A and B are shown apart, each in its own frame.
Chain A
Amino acid sequence: MQNTAATKEIKTGVRPHTLAARIYKYRYFYLIMLPAIALLIIFKYIPMAGVSLAFTKYTAFAPPKFIGWDNFKELIGDASFLSALKNTLILSLVNLFLGMLFSIGFALLINEIHRKLVKSVFQTILYIPHFISWVVTASIFYLILSPSGGVINQLIVGLGGKSTYFMISEKWWTPIFYLINLWKGVGWGMIIYIAALSGISDELYEAASIDGAGRMKQMWYITLPGILNTILVVLILHLASVLNIFQSVFVLQNDLVLNVSEVIETYIYRVGLLQSDYGYSTAVGLFKSIISMLLILVTNNACKKIKGEGIL
């Protein structure tokens, strides 16, 4: 800090001209960044280099052996993978659609509550499930839906029905998955729309009602156009991560409902970590990463067009 040359330059507001002087000026930052850079390289970049395993045959019993594109050829014909891909797209997209529909709807309704305190109480209650981890959420619903003593089955039996084990039934698992996702996510999803709604000027509504526009007309011609950009941005942001659906599925699935609940990430976990087929599962992962990367780049451009700034 005592270097006179460097401080003099800052004092006079002149940028130090030699590279060495500039490096010297920021010397502590380099030092302080060392751990971050080290962790970044070890835990992000070395695994990136590790995707080269996708071109090898590598299991727990045999060392990696180069086999070119064979893993990817196998991938295209792998029925379990294709089913996982299908489930990923269905679960993700339905989730996204339901989540947005209800978040927007509830945001519009809560916006009609004009008493600030009431509004914020409701909002806070709707947030709560978001703060609960997926493991806890899954535990809560496993307990509630349990066939032995869960509330729902108690009710069904009490009303003369037959006790059902919902979580292991292929028919029930998917709708329950969507419902749990809604329960957990809808309040959180509303936040961004509420913020957008509060940005719409009151004058627009006043002018509209003076011109005789009713509530529905106001909603259609002022409110919805006012949050359209936000809706589009949220939509494409989520589309970018459509293949990433994982935690929610992982904690809620079990071996009996794999047909409807296996998604790409859980498939990678099963093949790679449980069955130790490292080469093939890396290929599945690489396939997913590349599509995700393309999605992010495309959606980032779309965002830039709509919002004027990208997400990255």
Chain B
Amino acid sequence: MQEKFSFASGYRSRTIFRVCNIVFFILLSLVMLVPILKVISDSFDAKAGYALTLLPTQFTTDAYKRVFTDRELLNPLLISIFTTAIGTALCLFLTTTSAYVLLQTDMPGHKILTWLFFITMIFSGGMVPGYLLIKGLHLMNTLWSCILPPAISVADIILMKSFFESLPQSLMEAAAIDGCTPFGIFIKIVLPLSKPALASIGLFIGVRYWNQFFNFVMYITNNDLFNFQVKLRDIVLNSTDLQNSNASDTVLMSRTVQNACVIVSMIPPLIAYPFCQKYFTTGVTLGAVKE
């Protein structure tokens, strides 16, 4: 199976091509990995950044200790964990129920509901009306401003809906004939069958909450409520000393700590994603519509 079309002539040129191809992908993989490896190495290196090797010159774990003990870094980390937990639970609940209800074509009001969701996919009020709304609701400088607006995600609802559609319909028909109500079918049959999809889409949502930062940039001005992404942006961009001096009260962090923060903030998504590989292809197509 390794050589699908092996014909004696051209065998040599094919071998050359295959070797070159593998070498090419090894080089490409290095391009992808080296920036990350350099950051990992620097996060363990007391003299971060001054060596051209991918191994720490002066090994230390102090930077990581600092991330988990220094209040200034630990607090954003806890905020990230908190908003991710609450946001994911809420968003997953809304996504699952909305997706299932949108499939109930017989339900009165189904058409209106579908349109209600559909319109938000093609038109949005934009950044400034959204900002004024949060201000008007007095949600500025509360974590709700970063939890509630992203909780309705039409792309995820469509992803979930396409999963529900793939479930065997005969099971639900049988349950309906046995006298199960539509809601009973949802709770007793659909949800237990959907555990893998719930887990994967939940991870997608969780990663989004973890990585979110622009809502924090817009709605949060109180330093104590920054999440880890915003904090990271703050310390890296400030200490690489761009003119952005608006957050100059931040203590300058050493390069090692900056690198450690980068690593800490990218670990949860890297752990989560292998579990939702199955949904990548669908996710790519759907994601293209959104930002």
Residues of A in contact with B (beta carbons under 8 Å apart): 1, 6-7, 10-11, 13, 15, 19, 22-23, 25-30, 32-33, 35-37, 39-40, 42-51, 53, 106, 109-110, 112-115, 118, 122, 125-129, 131-136, 138-144, 146, 148-151, 154-155, 158, 167-168, 183, 187-189, 191-192, 195, 202, 205-206, 209, 214-215, 233-234, 237-238, 240-241, 244, 246-247, 250-251, 254-256, 265, 268-269, 272-273, 278, 281-282, 285-286, 288-289, 293, 296-297, 311-312
Contact = CB atoms under 8 A, between A and B. Distances in A.
B199 interface: no
B279 to A, nearest CB: 11
A192 B98 contact: no
Given A43-B133, A151-B52, A246-B291, A112 B17 contact: yes
A278 B243 CA distance: 26
B32 interface: yes
Among B109, B130, B179, B266, the most chain A Cβ lie within 10 Å of the Cβ of: B266
B97 interface: yes
Contacts of B121: 296, 312
B128 A282 contact: yes
B106 interface: yes
A128 B243 contact: no
21 contacts: A1-B181, A7-B179, A29-B186, A33-B101, A35-B94, A114-B2, A126-B32, A131-B270, A135-B233, A140-B36, A144-B39, A151-B49, A191-B284, A192-B281, A195-B281, A255-B244, A272-B131, A281-B128, A282-B126, A282-B128, A296-B122
A202 B4 contact: yes
Contact of B232 (A11, A42, A136, A192): A136
A27 to B, nearest CB: 8
A254 B241 CA distance: 11
Contacts of A43: 130, 133, 148-149, 152
B269 A131 contact: yes
B108 interface: yes
Contacts of B244: 254-255
Contact of B25 (A109, A128, A168): A109
Interface of B: 1-5, 7, 10, 14, 17-18, 21-22, 24-25, 28-29, 31-33, 35-36, 38-39, 42, 48-50, 52, 94, 97-98, 100-101, 104, 106-109, 113, 116-118, 120-133, 137, 148-149, 151-152, 176-177, 179-184, 186, 207, 210-211, 213-214, 218, 229-230, 232-233, 236-237, 240-244, 255, 258-259, 261-262, 265-266, 269-270, 273, 280-281, 284-285, 288-291
A113 B21 CA distance: 8
A133 B118 contact: no
Contacts of B273: 127, 131
Given A26-B108, A51-B129, A44 B262 contact: no
Nearest to B182: A26
B101 A29 contact: yes
B109 to A, nearest CB: 8
A38 to B, nearest CB: 10
Contact of A188 (B213, B218, B259, B284): B284
Contact of B97 (A36, A187, A189, A250): A36
A23 B213 CA distance: 41
Contacts of A268: 126-128
Nearest to A218: B5
> Which among B117, B181, B281 has the highest number of chain A CB atoms within 10 Å?
B181
A288 B127 CA distance: 11
A269 B126 CA distance: 10
Contact of B236 (A48, A128, A143, A282): A143
A47 B124 contact: yes
B101 A10 contact: no
B45 to A, nearest CB: 11
Centre residue among B10, B126, B137, B176 by max chain A CB count within 10 A: B126
A99 B24 CA distance: 18
B255 A149 contact: yes
Given A46-B133, A241-B290, A288 B177 contact: no
Contacts of B232: 135-136, 139
Nearest to A147: B240
A179 B66 CA distance: 33
Contact of A47 (B125, B280, B289): B125
Given A129-B32, A282-B128, A36 B52 contact: no
Contact of A286 (B25, B126, B179): B126
A311 to B, nearest CB: 6
Given A48-B124, A143-B255, A183 B177 contact: no
Contacts of B242: 167-168, 254-255
B229 A155 contact: no
A23 B104 CA distance: 12
A312 B130 contact: no
B229 A285 contact: no
A209 to B, nearest CB: 5
Contact of B116 (A37, A46, A114, A143): A37
Given A23-B108, A29-B101, A43-B152, 8 more contacts: A7-B179, A13-B177, A42-B133, A125-B32, A126-B28, A131-B273, A139-B233, A143-B262
Given A48-B125, A51-B126, A135-B232, A36 B94 contact: yes
